[in-house]
Structure 1
Amino acid sequence: MDFIRHLLGLDKVTYMGYSYGTWLGAWYGSLFSDNIERMALDSATDSTQESIQTLYNAAHEGRDRQFRLRMMNWISRNDEVFGLGTDPETIWKRYFAATSTPEKSLATQWSWNAVNGPAAFSNPIGYRAAGSLVAGIIAEGEAPSKPVVPAESAARVVDQTELTDEQRAAAHYGTEEVDRPVIDFLLGGDRPAQTIVAAGKPLPLERSTYESWTPLDENAEHATEAPLFTDPTIPAETGVVREPRN
């Protein structure tokens, strides 16, 4: 990275890093701090670990929490669309029961990959496709018993997965209360004087936001460990601006 800076003839660089990019940014900043003008890290990894493999190991747990605590709740709130009921735990159990054999599991893997379903875990624009994907996988898995051919099973699931043009056009899910101060800072403005906690935008098909864990306390931490399941109908608390922590 510093060689690229040198080739560009820059004395200093401004760096914006997401996810894995935060690992690169943290290490670059620690090694070449004099060459950094401004830096912002979003969805930061733990750069104090010896290897980024720690991140990859934790990613499975993080996606399981998103799938179980957020996506299942969202699907249950939109039963009129997906027809899977209003109990997130029941939907979750049906999903794993429907993917319990090696053949069904392989078909499910191919289905998710074919429609880029995992993208929903980083951008809510993919929720409609992921929701219909989950419904299709359950329907396919609960169909009358017959020999499962993974490629044919995956094709049937993919054929019924939907994503409208309107949802594609609504792909920007940024939060102006957070995005704007970061953009202004990277463009030369002052660093925000306060820690900003802002409400997220509603997920597709919804006009409100909901809790999918428990509210954050004054230290921006959860008061409890991750629950197995939560009530999908509890509205999220509105974000507030707090003084920065030392």
Structure 2
Amino acid sequence: MSEQRELPLTFPELSAEAPLIPVRMINEYVYCPRLAYLEWVQAEFAHSADTIDGKIKHKRVDERSGELPEQPEEGERVHARSVALSSTRLGITAKLDLVEGEGSYVTPVDYKRGARPHVAAGAYDPERVQLCAQGLLLREHGFECDSGVIYFAASRERVRVPFDDALIEMTLAAITGLRGIAFAGHIPPPLEDSPKCPRCSLVGICLPDEVRFLTRSSVEPRPLFPALQDALPLYVQSPRAFRTTPIKELRESCFPRHECLGLIEAASSHLISTKG
């Protein structure tokens, strides 16, 4: 069999009216495509305890301070909060929590309310992709950026995320995928029995269980019947009763072995066995 050649990803050509994708929606798309569609395309949103807590903890970084220099000078310190950047070529827009660095070399810092997950990559893919998209925006604006930092407020830890080729490819694929489902106008199906659903703030709008029930196959499920236990128990009460494992011979009975559901021994030690 000949090896299939992998085709390069291309961005759908954007019209002047095409909206830019918020980078946060790329995070949602990697987490759950249906969630991203509901929030970005259908403008559905509902608060939960988690989203409200995150909004409160995010207040400080939402306060704009410092400026991102248009023409950075060598050695110039960069420390800017709530930086808005967009790219029509990439088709994305974002408000970066914090950009820090020196001269033209900068690092985006993204704040998250939770604790650092103990995974090999240091963070989950949705957060890594969101941060990488911010790095791509900084590159589009003439800065050098090869990594970013996620700050986890609950555990007060900073995790460095390198922008390697694999992560950049994943990020570009997510941008293309989200724009593709938005242009198609077809909402993705809900996740299958995912632990993400119960804590999702949009679970009452998404209705994953109800949607799966209504769209399931019309073929009736095959009924399951428990196996019939037609065999009967065998009681052996001789003083020196014993058995081998597995039972190959019943010394004091000619009771057919295949009809014996369980062997109950009642020897002098009064041990009871329910194994056949």
Structure of higher CA gyration radius: 2
TM range (shorter): under 0.3
TM-score (norm 1): 0.23
Structure 1 or 2: larger strand share?
2
TM-score (norm 2): 0.21
Structure 1 or 2: larger helix share?
1
